[in-house]
Amino acid sequence: MNISKRCFVRIISFLAALVVVLGIMAAQSYNTASRLKAQMEYAMMKNVEDLSTGIDNINTSLNKGIYAGTPEMMSALSAKLWSDAAGAKAALAQLPVAQLNLENTFKFLSQVGNYSKSLADKYSAGEELTDEDRDNLASLAQYAKKLSDNMWKVEQKVNSGELSLEQTDHAAFFSGEEDQPKYVTEGFTDFEEGYDNYPTLIYDGPFSDHILEKDPEMLKNAENVSVEDALKTAESASGSDKLEHTDDNDEHGKMQSYVFTDENGTVAAITKSGGYISYMMRYRPVENKGISASESVEKAENYISSVMKDDMTDTYYEINNNVCTINFAGEKNGVTLYTDLIKVSVAMDNGEIIAYDARGYLTNHTDRELPEPSVSEDDARAKVSKSLEINDCGLAVIPSAGTNELFCYEFKCTAPDGQQMLVYVNTETGKEEQILLLQISENGTLTV
Enumerate the domain spans of the chain. Answer: 30-211, 214-283, 287-367, 377-447
The CATH number of 287-367, from 3.40.50, 3.30.750, 1.20.1050, 3.10.450, is: 3.10.450
Q: Enumerate residues 6+ apart whose C-beta is below 8 A from 284.
A: 170, 264, 265, 347, 354
Q: pLDDT digit string (tens) for 227-262?
A: 999 999 999 999 999 999 988 888 887 889 999 999
Q: Which of 21-25, 132-136, 308-312, 356-360 has the lowest mean pLDDT?
A: 21-25
Q: What residues pair up with 341 in beta bridges, in sequence order?
A: 329
β-strands 389-399, 335-347 pairing: parallel
Residue 346: pLDDT band with limits 50, 70, 90? very high
β-strands 277-282, 353-357 pairing: antiparallel
Rounded CA-CA distance 56/152 in Å is: 9
* pTM (two decimals): 0.60
* CB neighbour burial string for 154-184, b if at least 16 within 10 angstroms, e if fewer: bbebbeeeebbbebeebeebeeeeeeeeebb
Q: How much is the pLDDT for 78?
A: 78
More confident residue, 402 or 236: 236
Burial of 416 (0-12, 13-18, 19+ CB in 10 A): exposed
Nearest Cα neighbor of 143 from 117, 114, 119, 111 is: 111
* Average pLDDT value for residue range 328-338: 93
Q: How much is the pLDDT for 444?
A: 81
Rounded CA-CA distance 381/390 in Å is: 8
